[in-house]
Amino acid sequence: MREAPVGVFDSGVGGLSVLAEIQRLLPNESLLYVADCGNIPYGEKAPDFIRHRCSVMAEFFQQQGAKALVLACNTATVAGVADLRRDYPTWPIVGMEPAVKPAAAATRSGVVGVLATTGTLQSAKFAALLDRFATDVQVITQPCPGLVELIENGDLHSPALRQLLARYVEPLLGAGCDTIILGCTHYPFLKPLLKQMIPDDISLIDTGAAVARQLQRLLAERELLAEGPVRAAQFWTSADPEHFRNILPILWNTAGIVRSFNK
């Protein structure tokens, strides 16, 4: 069971940023990744639809013999992680949430910005995070429609992307934010561009590394940490596999075999 794979999924390619953190921390683990690109973006979908997709993914990874499940998607976590933990009570399941707690601790100005999808920002879970960890700071939220779609096409540098991102960042800078939460797994791929737009003393915070640490903790508790040898990551997508193959070298820094996910 130690050498069983870990299943990871996202609405698209954004979760590759989380997959990279898992691989960095747990290099002996074999990884399976499903990009539900045929249904992107989750952030604009109804919660019932997202819960259904989460269930489909969980069933698939169970069939693949995965020893753990990672929801590398803030929106999917908000909508579906509670149901998955109820349905699979003995399965280690790790979700994502915007890094409100570390951002509130890190801010010096007392003003924190959040870049996220509409679905995440409108969720009760996000509101609960604010109530729990951000009562002493001002939180400026910025929905970012359109960013996910551009990143899905492997666009990390175009003038159109730069213009859109600047439009979303400027209100946060204007409000005096000194800490910005990247509240979608796609957004860490924009860090190089963001750093060109913001002063050096502004912190960018995402939760990929924290998710990897939580996975490590859950696997260690159950004596499930792999000892190797590791197998190459395997990829599936519910959209065009050729498109995913083309952007893997951009976002994953290596090519890979991509299969069609028809579920």
The answer to whether the bond into 229 is cis (omega within 30° of 0) is: yes
- Say if residues 10 and 185 touch (Cβ distance below 8 Å): yes
Three-state secondary-structure class, residue 31: strand
Of 131, 191, 210, 198, which Cα lies nearest the Cα of 170?
A: 198
- Residue whose token pair is 């860490």: 188
Active-site residue numbers?
73, 184
C-alpha distance across the termini of the chain, in Å: 26
- Say if residues 9 and 57 touch (Cβ distance below 8 Å): yes
Both tokens assigned to 229: 């040898």
Both tokens assigned to 44: 């604009």
Angle at 230 between CA 216 and CA 211, to 5 degrees: 25
